[in-house]
């Protein structure tokens, strides 16, 4: 189970990125499948060519931000539907990612020094120590996201996703907030890609396929369990959702499913998380809870 914790925490950074677009901007961004691999590919090829770890990771993140900017501009300037804009970028990135990796489908990192070399050499991988270290990094990223959403720019980003008409009438350039939001989100997704590539010891052209579903599963499952009323709650839920999601996958693997079934399980999980809350008894429970909160807050 420790391995599920490690992987869940690594992917939590991606889940936080998906939270920014899917929940905050109300923009279901499918760029993620491509930009994740872009981050991994950029980082891997730079590591192989001898660049320092931090340079390779920052470059991967910047490449992901550029991918997000393209989706944003397609939507804002080109008036292309959000889903379609994301799919177009994602498909284009497939070719670009292959080119980044020198027209190879796979770049191994087995002999390169990575962020995790120190952990591995000292036997810290798959221990509670590595879990604590990963959790600290995720907490730091989560705090940055929380801080950002409370700044003037962050609040205008949230208003853009919440009520665009109001945002524009209050002087918010919603085109800019959307593009910047997509850049930050995809930057985080790509950063996650650089981490995963180093963790598993290779970058692969197909490593991002279906990842958006894992991201959505993390956000939706996490927020169904931990709530999303306050911003800190929603951020925490996205990160913990990722750990829960990987836990569920791990349990499925331990019970006779094979890795090829994982995409199906992910999809079913997302469908359940989206449909279950609409189920009568659960709905009633939520309504009661809301009424109680309203009463406590003094609104009849």
Partner 1 sequence: MLKLDAVTKRFFPGTVNERVALDAIDLTLHEGDFVTVIGSNGAGKSTMLNVVAGRYPLDGGKVLIDGRNVSRTPEHRRAKWVARVFQDPMAGTSPHLTIEENLAIAFERGQGRGLGMAVTNAKREVFREALATLELGLEDRLDMRVGMLSGGQRQALSLLMATYARPAILLLDEHTAALDPARAELITRLTGEAVARHHLTTLMVTHNMHQAIELGNRLIMMHEGRIVLEVDEAAKKTITAEQLLEEFAKIKGAALSDRTLLD
- The residues binding partner 1 (CB under 8 A) are 148, 150-156, 158-159, 162-163, 165-174, 229, 294, 297-299
Convert 96-123 into a string of H (helix), E (strand) and C (coil): HHHHHCCCCCEEECCCCCCCCHHHHHCC
Shortest separation between residue 286's beta carbon and partner 1, angstroms: 15
End-to-end CA distance of the chain: 47
Indicate the residue among 131 and 172 with the shorter CB distance to partner 1. Answer: 172
- Per-residue tokens: 259: 């890795």
Shortest separation between residue 170's beta carbon and partner 1, angstroms: 5
Indicate the residue among 152 and 255 with the shorter CB distance to partner 1. Answer: 152
Indicate the residue among 165 and 275 with the shorter CB distance to partner 1. Answer: 165
- Per-residue tokens: 23: 């929940």
Indicate the residue among 95 and 163 with the shorter CB distance to partner 1. Answer: 163
Indicate the residue among 10 and 149 with the shorter CB distance to partner 1. Answer: 149
Shortest separation between residue 298's beta carbon and partner 1, angstroms: 7
> DSSP state, 204?
E
Shortest separation between residue 200's beta carbon and partner 1, angstroms: 35
Calpha distance 86→112 (Å, rounded): 33
Shortest separation between residue 237's beta carbon and partner 1, angstroms: 15
DSSP assignment of 11-79 equals HHHHHHHHHIIIIIS----TTHHHHHHHHHHHHHHHHHTT--HHHHHHHHHHHHHHHHHHHHHHHHTT-
């Amino acid at each position: 189970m420790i391995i599920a914790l490690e992987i869940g925490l690594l992917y939590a950074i991606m889940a936080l990125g998906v939270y920014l677009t899917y929940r905050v901007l109300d923009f279901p961004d499918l760029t993620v499948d491509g930009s994740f691999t872009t981050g991994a590919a950029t980082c891997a090829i730079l590591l192989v060519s001898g660049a320092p770890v931090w340079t390779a990771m920052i470059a991967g993140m910047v490449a992901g931000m550029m991918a997000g900017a393209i989706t944003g501009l397609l939507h804002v300037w080109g008036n292309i539907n959000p889903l379609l804009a994301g799919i177009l970028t994602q498909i284009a990135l497939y070719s670009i990612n292959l080119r980044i990796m020198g027209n190879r489908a796979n770049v191994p990192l087995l002999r390169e020094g990575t962020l995790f070399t120190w952990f591995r050499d000292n036997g810290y991988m798959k221990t509670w120590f590595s879990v604590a270290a990963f959790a600290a990094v995720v907490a730091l990223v989560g705090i940055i996201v929380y801080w950002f959403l409370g700044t003037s720019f962050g609040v205008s980003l949230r208003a853009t996703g919440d009520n665009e008409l109001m945002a524009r009438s209050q002087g918010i350039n919603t085109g800019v907030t959307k593009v910047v939001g997509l850049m930050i989100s995809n930057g985080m997704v790509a950063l996650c890609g650089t981490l995963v590539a180093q963790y598993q010891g290779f970058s692969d052209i197909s490593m991002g396929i279906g990842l958006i579903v894992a991201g959505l599963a993390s956000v939706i499952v996490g927020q169904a369990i931990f709530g999303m009323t306050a911003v800190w709650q929603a951020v925490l839920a996205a990160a913990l959702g990722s750990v829960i999601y990987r836990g569920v996958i791990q349990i499925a693997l331990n019970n006779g499913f094979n890795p090829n079934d994982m995409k199906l399980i992910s999809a079913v999980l997302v469908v359940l998380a989206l449909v279950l809350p609409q189920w009568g008894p659960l709905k009633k429970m939520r309504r009661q809870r809301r009424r109680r909160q309203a009463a406590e807050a003094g609104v009849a």
